[in-house]
Amino acid sequence: MNRCRVLIVDDHEHAREAMCEILGLDEHFEIIGAVASGAEAIVWTEQWMPDLILIDIEMPGMNGLETTRRIKLTHPYVKIVIVTVSDEVSHLFEALKQGAQGYLLKNLAPSTWIEYLLAIVSEEVPLSRELAFQILQEFAVPSPREEHEALTTREREILGCVSSGATNREIAVTLGISEHTVKNHLKNILHKLQLQNRTQLTRYALEQGLAPRSRDFAPEHTTKKKRGTH
């Protein structure tokens, strides 16, 4: 894996410093800039072409969601992760709607940040288990449409696993198939649903009621989070 060039965007200096320190713990990340506004983020993205942007959701002027939307319009290749103190599911879905690849709570452990961001840049898993569990508990899904009817029973099982935050290896172990078979199934699912990545698959499964209910899924490790202050 090549080094991932990261731009950090947060209007609080201490928050920017903290994110720089966290990413400095892993050699796969290279900080190319840390800016205080959405407008600066757009300029830096144009000039320096980062691979990954970490951006605060609440900023004066142009907030993180609007900044994400604008950057994605001109630089769709950039992976963007929203960072915030809020664990409101509605915020997560709005972030995904604007094109973000992920969503991180500021008060999670540095090791969790590193593991999650490595997964994002390697396109392995878009949502942490904890966040996926919260969505399944709190998000009310509408009536399903017809696109998913073309999926086989196995593909539906895999889609459910993806929406719960499982990696390809975990899916393979759970279903008793090879990791290579899982990857091929995912390619078929993406083609049938005309979607592009795991983030979109997760959102689709939740919106269409195809994800497992909370009683069918529980994260391996659940921890109580302390709400921080911005």
Distance (Å, whole) CA 25 – CA 114: 8
Mean pLDDT of the chain: 80
Beta bridge partners of 184: none
Structure tokens at 19: 């994110």
Domain 145-216 in the same topology as domain 4-122: no
* pLDDT tens for each residue of 29-54: 999 999 999 999 999 999 999 999 99
CATH 1.10.10.10 fits 145-216, yes or no: yes
Closest CA to 4 of 34, 26, 37, 35: 26
Residue 142: the pLDDT is 40
* pLDDT tens for each residue of 68-86: 999 999 998 899 999 988 7
In this model, does residue 130 exceed pLDDT 80? no
- Taking the domains of the chain in order of start, what are their residue ranges? 4-122, 145-216
Closest CA to 218 of 138, 133, 127, 139: 133
Distance (Å, whole) CA 60 – CA 72: 20
Query: Could you tell me how many residues make up the chain?
Result: 230
Class of domain 4-122: alpha beta
